[in-house]
Amino acid sequence: MKKLVLSKILLLAVIYSFAQSTVNCYPSNWWAGMKWDKVQLMLHATNITSAANFSINYPGVQLKKITKADSKNYVFLDLQISPIAKPGTIKIIPTGFNNNQPISFTLKPRRSGNGTSYAQGVTAADLVYLIMPDRFCNGDYTNDHIAGMLDQSLNRDSIFLRHGGDLMGIESKLDYLQDLGITTLWLNPVIENDMPERTEHGYAFTNHYKIDPRIGGDDAYHKLITAMHNRGMKMIQDAVYNHVGIQHITVKDQPFKDWLHQWPSYTNTTYKDQVLFDPYAAKNDIKKMTDGWFVPSMPDLNQNNSFVANFLIQHAIWTVENYGIDGWRIDTYAYNDLAFMNRCNQALYNEFPRITLFGETWVHGMVNQAYFCQNNLNIPYKSNLQATTDFQTLFYGIQEALTKPFGWTDGVNKLYTTLASDIVYKDPMRQVIFLDNHDLPRFYSVLSEDLAKYKMAMAWLLTCRGIPQLYYGSEILMTGFTNPDGWVRLDFKGGWKEDVVNKFTPQGRTEKENNLFNYLKTMAHFRKNSSAIKTGKMMQYIPEDGVYVYFRYDANQTVMCIMNQNADPKTINLSRFAERINGFAKAQDVATGNIFDLQQQLTLGGNYLLVLDLKK
């Protein structure tokens, strides 16, 4: 009988041990010696607010405040980490909960090489390549399906389903990318998106502290970034602060009633950024713009809630330190609370002084765009964001120059006028210029697949002021319009072992594709070694008769760029440009390598951008 009772007691003990709640801690760790030394932990476990108290005993670390959330499943702990705190494991004791089982929180030593081997920042010396991981290359077929995840699709014949590309695939193509002249990668979001559909794009996070296992997970991300840094390359991560996926734990179980922007009924954002600076704007319009949801499946975070703000800021810092990324591209920047964004940006600047931050500002107008970054505008709100994605030079600049006939305000005059408005920016060289991305029509398609005009666009991209960004496949003439967006997110042929052609090799590309690839490669490598383009100044001349001339120059080099948007050749008188070309006797055509004497006149072919490296 005693043995039976003892067995029952042991069985109950085992059952009780399994019944204990799993406590998830966000962030999972921190680092000794960080400037962000007031760390707010979010503890999540079933009925964790039933704990009578929480305590720690660790030299240099104090538990300053305990906040029990509206949900019984969250508690927030405010820790003060002093400079004397050493790396180690902090034990958090939840009195009266989980049998007082300690919760481990690790304090790590900071990684070495801040500002040299990571958080280096991205500058106009770089060439950025944007990749959607699911559509670039499948390097590991074992992660194509992950048991338990909501989206189990895998069908390359559908533009809306998963295709299997991953981080290992990207790593396997680093030689290809460096050969092309790429220095920096920007990946569409890599964070877990455990949503039921449309998970290929990655913009609906469901767990901030987990790299999506379908693209390789945490280990593959570390491995890719290490391989890139060992090659002297840089990584930009895509940040999303404005919203999360509807399957995020803080949506399914909201810590506080105001964790999200709440409305009596579903309210979408108006997408009208003008109300943020319009002196005549109605308050209701402002609220709808900032607090309305982006789409129903992506709930809008309330960044005025201090716990939300801390969660997002700490995750940003944690990500840079943990993975060693070099910069942030911030999604849907205009829809965030801008005071919060200044605070978040500053926290990253404080910790990582060389890091680069640029925001997506899909807006229409130079003032609109400048409002969201460091600018020269005399306005009450002052953004500390370094730069934006420069939609203005795309929509109202190069696209107009190559698709509209020349006129007083049209054609290349549009490009000239747009760049003349750079006066609004504190530092135009930080602006990220591009021709297309995952949300836009492929620029080759915009130009009706006109190779001559497309080469003009590429030459402009690699010689204009700013940080140039290429979209994957642009170098092999990938096409597509955004009706719907999946048509601009097609697979890079050759990235899957079953592909019958391989566009990563010259043999797999057509003659026209190799023509463009080699041209782009030539221009990219010239740019990589051009001080005038990477760090020099810019001077432009008023376009005449469809011909637009601009210079990139410094004390060591002068590059002359002559864009003829006309179908017919044009002859220009070089004496007009004496201010910049005096003292130079020869010029080298960058595309061909040919060197010729600078004469009084120069004849330029139709639909061509001639890039000249001037010689004494």
With respect to residue 12, please indicate whether it lies within any of the assigned structural domains: no
pLDDT in tens, 542-586: 999 999 999 999 999 999 999 999 999 999 999 999 999 999 999
Whether residue 445 sits in one domain with residue 580: no
With respect to residue 113, please indicate whether it lies within any of the assigned structural domains: no
With respect to residue 139, please indicate whether it lies within any of the assigned structural domains: yes
Whether residue 37 sits in one domain with residue 143: no
Q: What is the DSSP string of 60-107?
A: TEEEEEEEE-SSTTEEEEEEEE-TTPPSEEEEEEEETSGGGPPEEEEE
In this structure, how many other beta carbons lie within 10 angstroms of the beta carbon of residue 265?
4
The neighbouring-strand residues paired with 572 are 602
Instruction: Find the domain containing 42 and state its range.
Output: 22-108
Whether residue 374 sits in one domain with residue 286: yes
What single-letter DSSP state applies at residue 329?
A: E
What single-letter DSSP state applies at residue 340?
A: H
For the cut 50, the answer to whether the pLDDT of residue 121 exceeds it is yes
Question: Would strands 184-187 and 128-131 be described as parallel, antiparallel, or unpaired?
Answer: parallel
CA–CA distance, 303 with 375 (Å, rounded to integer): 24
Average pLDDT over residues 136-165: 97
What single-letter DSSP state applies at residue 100?
A: G
For the cut 60, the answer to whether the pLDDT of residue 302 exceeds it is yes
Look up the CATH number of the domain holding residue 38: 2.60.40.10
Quote the pLDDT of residue 21: 79
Last residue in a domain, options 491, 512, 529: 529
Look up the CATH number of the domain holding residue 544: 2.60.40.1180
Quote the pLDDT of residue 204: 97
CA–CA distance, 583 with 199 (Å, rounded to integer): 57
The Cα-based distances of 178 to 172, 378, 435 in angstroms read 12, 42, 20
Quote the pLDDT of residue 16: 45
Q: Do 435 and 457 touch, CB atoms closer than 8 A?
A: yes
Quote the pLDDT of residue 116: 75
With respect to residue 362, please indicate whether it lies within any of the assigned structural domains: yes
pLDDT in tens, 5-48: 445 544 444 444 445 679 999 999 999 999 999 999 999 999 99
For the cut 80, the answer to whether the pLDDT of residue 115 exceeds it is no
With respect to residue 341, please indicate whether it lies within any of the assigned structural domains: yes
Quote the pLDDT of residue 512: 98
For the cut 50, the answer to whether the pLDDT of residue 4 exceeds it is no
For the cut 50, the answer to whether the pLDDT of residue 541 exceeds it is yes
With respect to residue 595, please indicate whether it lies within any of the assigned structural domains: yes
Whether residue 48 sits in one domain with residue 140: no
Q: Do 553 and 537 touch, CB atoms closer than 8 A?
A: yes
Task: Write out 286-324 in H/E/C secondary structure.
Answer: HHHHHHCECECCECEECCCCHHHHHHHHHHHHHHHHHHC
Look up the CATH number of the domain holding residue 280: 3.20.20.80
Length of the chain: 616
Whether residue 351 sits in one domain with residue 208: yes
Whether residue 583 sits in one domain with residue 507: no
For the cut 90, the answer to whether the pLDDT of residue 117 exceeds it is no
Quote the pLDDT of residue 547: 98
Average pLDDT over residues 304-332: 98
527-537: b or e for each residue (b if 16 or more CB lie within 10 Å)?
A: bbebebbbebe
Peptide bond preceding 468 in cis form (omega within 30 of 0): no
Whether residue 600 sits in one domain with residue 471: no
For the cut 60, the answer to whether the pLDDT of residue 592 exceeds it is yes
What single-letter DSSP state applies at residue 243?
A: B
User: What band does 112 get if pLDDT is binned at 50, 70 and 90?
Assistant: confident
Whether residue 289 sits in one domain with residue 202: yes
With respect to residue 15, please indicate whether it lies within any of the assigned structural domains: no
User: What is the total count of domains within the chain?
Assistant: 3
Whether residue 186 sits in one domain with residue 58: no
Whether residue 595 sits in one domain with residue 544: yes
Whether residue 302 sits in one domain with residue 190: yes
Whether residue 160 sits in one domain with residue 85: no
pLDDT in tens, 361-400: 999 999 999 999 999 999 999 999 999 999 999 999 999 9
Last residue in a domain, options 513, 529, 545: 529
* Active-site residue set: 331, 360
With respect to residue 116, please indicate whether it lies within any of the assigned structural domains: no
Token pair listed for 36 = 């962000």
pLDDT in tens, 428-469: 999 999 999 999 999 999 999 999 999 999 999 999 999 999
pLDDT exceeding 70 applies to what percent of the chain?
A: 96
Last residue in a domain, options 50, 77, 108: 108
Q: What is the DSSP string of 104-144?
A: EEEEEPPPS-BTTTBS----TT--EEEE-GGGT----GGGS
